[in-house]
Amino acid sequence: MAVPVDTLPPVAAFALVGVLGVGAQLLAWRLKMPAIVLMLVAGIIAGPITGIFDPEREFGALREPMIAVAVAIILFEGGLTLNLKSLQDAAKGVRRLVIVGAPLGWLMSALTLHYVAGLGWESSAVFGGIMIVTGPTVIAPLLRSARLNRRPAQVLQWEAIVNDPIGALAAVLAYEVVGVFRASHAMSTAIGETALGIVLAIAVGIAGGFGLVWAFRKGRVPEYMKVPVLFTLLLAVFAGCDWVLHESGLLAVTVMGIVIANSDLPSFEELRRFKEHATILLVSGVFIILAASLDLSELSTLNWRAAFFVAAVMLVARPVTVLVSLIGTNLPWREQLLVAFTGPRGVVLVAVAGLFGERLVGLGVEDAALIGPLAFVLVAVTVVVHGFGLRPMARALGLTGAETPGLLIVGGSRFTTGLARLLHENEIPVLVSDPNHSKLRGARREGVQTYYGDILAEAAEHRLDMVSYTSLLTATDNDAYNTLVATDLAHHFGRDAVYQIARDKEANTRHALPVTLGGKPVLKDMTHEALEERMIAGWRFRQTRLTDKFTLDDWRAENPDSLLVAAQRKGQTMRLLRTGENLKGAEDMRLIHLAPPEDEAEARRNAQQALKDGSEDDTPSGA
């Protein structure tokens, strides 16, 4: 039972939402748990259990529009990820899940609500439409933690984003029909208004997207004003369409996001990253507000039917919808099963369900009061089950990336080939990429996976399955390109996991770069040329395992000239090092180091082999 407390000041209420939401996400990252679970727990504890935070009390009439705007921005950011070129072989599956899956899912959900949960046909039709939504705000963090293969991850992400506004509009259509019967309005009038609203939303979304792209390309908007203009247009499109037909604004902003995502806008990447950051804050805030708004007394009105309803949705309605929709597609059966049994619900479901539940009650549909509690139970159960079960299920089906964190190396050379070979021999995922085909010959000869092409090109994003690689090393002979790659991909890997070999003029103040550019330095003072000279002279990569009996000090005493390259504790990500970096702890640690030849004869043999390999690698690729 919540303990009544005084009303929080508005600033304190906003701060509490931020602290709880972002804090829960940060704690979930540290504990490797689904963030949504902790956010729901934090909101319920702060709201109905302790009574510290009551959104209705703190925000009053602003609560509903705040949630509506937040959901619109979340969907717009989701639309920004819908680049049509990225679909590739998953396109047919996504189309079927939208064209066939959405109406079939609506039907299956309505039948489950009526026959299992015991709701009337009116409430079942409205809530069944909302249940089409699988929630991009939930899918995205689940995919990051589960590390799925690219194709099933794309199918789940696209289905969630595209079906979000479709589910809301299905609920609008059903609600309008219920309103017609309750108010004795003409059916044709209601259907005509709904169709007009949908057409208007699509038209306004397209016009808004193309208008924004035109203004940005023609220089009509200065760089520093692009994000404010984007936000203002987004709010205007959403509010205008929502005024004509409630929830049609969700469709409009999603369409606008898709148009911008497929426009090849030069400033698109900066816009998308800013929107991602805003979305993380909004997702946190919405979940905290909705969870804190939950009335526990409403949950007490649920009976055994609620448990059977959730089980039927997860084990019958969702699998049947997906498996029937994917008949005749090129998705393997394992991927179909994974998609069929993965359907977490999220922000849009709870927000829209609560809204329409209240409106149906206002129309005299008494059992609609159960829609809100059922929605919360469904979200909580699906998030927990899929949050903890998605990766084990994907692993059992063979649809996850490698268990061991891997390394992506940009730049083919003797140094990178030697490092990649050692990692490959130890079953650590490694890939060497280079736009020069001949520089990859050494890595291919060693059986190391390679990618011929520019790692920054759009083709690399579509063809490479990046989930197996958690670290990046840029080591080409072009310092500027190394810096560019490290800076551009730092957003994907995280700045702490992006490394770069020393630049030729790094010590020169005139050529010093700001800390915002490039990656963490590896092997201080060891430039590409210096590393290649050592490899030609016979230096080779070796590894040593430290124990409580053979410590780091013992290794240093035995290998005074070796260069430490990387260290890895058991079960942790490999960490690349700077020369002389202080390592703490010595138990069960593996060291990877670049060691000089043990004697002159070995040096001569290694140097001859290196020169031979080099002459082969320098052969023109057409030879």
pLDDT confidence tier of residue 361, bands split at 50, 70 and 90: confident
The pLDDT value given to residue 584: 63
Beta-carbon neighbour count of residue 297 at 10 Å? 10
For residue 62, give the amino acid letter: L
Average pLDDT over residues 459-478: 80
Which residue shows structure tokens 């019967």? 181
Provide the residue count of the chain. 623
- Give the relative orientation of helices 268-292 and 63-80 as an angle to the nearest 10 degrees: 140
Report domain extents, the chain: 10-396, 406-616
Q: Rounded to whole angstroms, what are the CA distances from 618 to 449, 489, 621, 623?
A: 20, 29, 8, 10
Q: Higher pLDDT residue, 90 or 189?
A: 189
The mean per-residue pLDDT over the stretch 331-352 comes to: 83
Per-residue model confidence (pLDDT) at position 516: 73
Q: Which of 149, 153, 147 is nearest to 470 (CA)?
A: 147
Query: Region 88-108: what's the mean pLDDT?
Result: 80
- For 255-289, how does the pLDDT look when each residue is reduced to its tens digit (9 = 90+)? 898 888 888 777 766 676 666 677 778 778 887 88
**pLDDT for res 108:** 94
- pLDDT-derived band at 102 (thresholds 50, 70, 90) equals confident
Position 621 scores a pLDDT of 35
pTM: 0.68
pLDDT, greater one: 575 or 140: 575
> Which residue type sits at 366?
E
3-state SS assignment for residue 484: helix
Question: Which amino acid is residue 300, in one-letter code?
Answer: S
Instruction: Assign a CATH topology to domain 10-396.
Output: Na+/H+ antiporter like fold (1.20.1530)
Q: Which two tokens stand for residue 565?
A: 């390259």
- Which CATH architecture is the domain 406-616 placed in? 3-Layer(aba) Sandwich (3.40)
Residue 337 makes CB contacts below 8 A (sequence gap 6+) with 397
Helix, strand and coil content of the chain, in percent to the nearest 5, comes to: 65, 10, 25
Which residues lie closer than 8 Å to 121 by C-beta, 6 or more apart? 110, 114
DSSP letter string over 533-551? HHHHTT-EEEEEEE-SSS-
Q: How far apart are CA 265 and CA 376, in angstroms?
A: 39
Whole-number pLDDT of residue 275: 66
Torsion sign, CA atoms 458, 459, 460, 463: positive
- Averaged pLDDT, 32-61: 83
More confident of the two residues 500 and 585 = 500
- Reduce the DSSP state of residue 410 to 3 states and report it: strand
* pLDDT tens by residue, 125-172: 889 988 888 876 677 667 767 777 777 887 887 788 777 767 776 777
Per residue in 514-527, pLDDT tens? Answer: 767 888 888 877 88
Q: CA distances (Å), 464 to each of 140, 417, 432, in order?
A: 19, 19, 12
Residue 614 pLDDT more than 70? no
Say yes or no to pLDDT of 603 above 60: no
What are 160's two structure tokens?
């969630």
Q: What is the pLDDT of residue 28?
A: 80
Which tokens is 375 given?
Answer: 């929605």
Rounded Cα distance between 152 and 242, Å, is 33
11: exposed, middle or buried (C-beta count within 10 Å: 0-12, 13-18, 19+)? exposed
The yes-or-no verdict on residue 359 having pLDDT over 90 is no
Give the strand pairing for 406-410 and 469-474: parallel
